[in-house]
Structure 1
Amino acid sequence: MEYEPIFPIKAIVFQILFLMVTIVIEAGILRQRLRLGFQTSVQYALVTNLATVVAGWIVFLAIEPLASISIRERMISYVLFDNLLIGGWTAQVGALLFVCAIVVFFVAIFIKAKGLELLLRADDTWEVLAPRNQKTNLRDARYARARGDASRAQSTISSFTDAVIYANAASFSTILLLLLLRTVAQEWTF
């Protein structure tokens, strides 16, 4: 029995694959940058990525009914059944897709940063990050005094934000590379 026309198995499998890859990459970066434990960084990456995926699907399901019939058919065809219908698309649609990708990237950073901050504060780890991330460099200390002695909280937020942006950029780049490799592999097989 063929379930693919009614049940998007490929979409579910690829979503799980991408989540696993993203969690591994981001957990490694969070562990390295924020000096968290292995299990803790994996848990934080898991929770923030699941929150991002759930938010993404909610937005997709909220926007989909508002789109025109032709755009809706193309969205459903590509997202659920991995079948891109290009006919009739213009450069404006390509530009719109590019802008949407940039917006998704920054919204994902925001969701992950706020989610991770919430998790760190709930575990009382937020205050512990400040001494860990602050490098005791004489030169940095002199610059801090000259600038008006930047607070420890500001340096914690800065290193925390850098870690989240770096982790998100690395995971998005890896997902993009996997999508490109999948497309190339499909072209070679047909």
Structure 2
Amino acid sequence: MFSVLPLRAIAFQCLFLLLAIAVEAAVLHEGLKLPYRKSVEYAASINLLSTAIGWLIFFSIEPLVPTNLRFQLINCIFFDQWSSGIAAWIIFAGFVTFFISFLVKLSGLDLLKLLLQDKEEKRSEQEIQADKSKRYQNTIRARKNAREGPSRANAVLIANALSYTAILLVLFIRIIVPADIRL
């Protein structure tokens, strides 16, 4: 028996990941005042985590879905064959996915901060002393930004909303542009 590899779904997942990482990195850079490189690393990490957990949830829930809806869902996701009966379920799933991915990304960002803080504590005492003045400046800047700017949860929520908006825009353009032009 042979298996079908959904190359189109894989390609679009990669495109959506790259788009989400780019958008969210810019928002994290501005919202959390992170350096460019660190904001890209954080955005990539939390998006990969969110995608992996999302697919695990999908494949664990998929067997519980009624058979007729399951075939429509699989045709929609993997083979780009839409039916009118699945549209309401897709919209509902989109809203649920948005909030679950927000919670996963916020938890992932907290986990990254915790893991990187442990790594920072292992540095030598000389490196820590050299960074004290820099940290003091960052602390003052962070307190000022906390009063003026968004919190971490707000920054992640805004980043998630903007990345979902960009992905929806790509999907709408894909629907609007005829298939013979896309090829």
Aligned residue pair count = 163
Q: Counting helix residues as a fraction of each chain, which structure ranks higher?
A: 2
In the alignment, does 2:169 pair up with 1:177? yes
Which residue of structure 2 aligns with residue 70 of structure 1?
A: 68
In the alignment, does 2:100 pair up with 1:107? yes
Which residue of structure 1 aligns with residue 55 of structure 2?
A: 57
Which residue of structure 1 aligns with residue 144 of structure 2?
A: 135
What secondary structure sits across from 1:135 in the alignment? helix
Q: TM-score, normalised by structure 2?
A: 0.79
Change (3 A) 1:42 1:108: same
Structure with larger RCO (C-alpha < 8 A, sep 6+): 2
Residue deviations 1:134-179 (CA, integer Å, cap 9, x gap): 328xxxxxxxxxxxxxxx8xx7xx6111100000000000000000
Whole-angstrom CA distance in 2 between matches of 1:41 and 1:99: 30
Whole-angstrom CA distance in 2 between matches of 1:52 and 1:97: 18
Tell me if the contact between 1:133 and 1:159 (Cα under 8 Å) persists in the aligned partners: no
Change (3 A) 1:177 1:58: same
RMSD: 2.7
Which residue of structure 2 aligns with residue 120 of structure 1?
A: 113
Which residue of structure 2 aligns with residue 97 of structure 1?
A: 90
Amino acid at match of 2:109: L
Specify every segment of 5 or more residues in structure 1 that has no aligned partner in the other structure, as ranges.
137-151
Amino acid at match of 1:37: P
What secondary structure sits across from 1:170 in the alignment? helix
Amino acid at match of 1:63: I
Whole-angstrom CA distance in 2 between matches of 1:97 and 1:130: 44
Specify every segment of 5 or more residues in structure 2 that has no aligned partner in the other structure, as ranges.
121-134
Aligned-pair identity in percent equals 34
Amino acid at match of 1:46: A
Whole-angstrom CA distance in 1 between matches of 2:46 and 2:178: 31
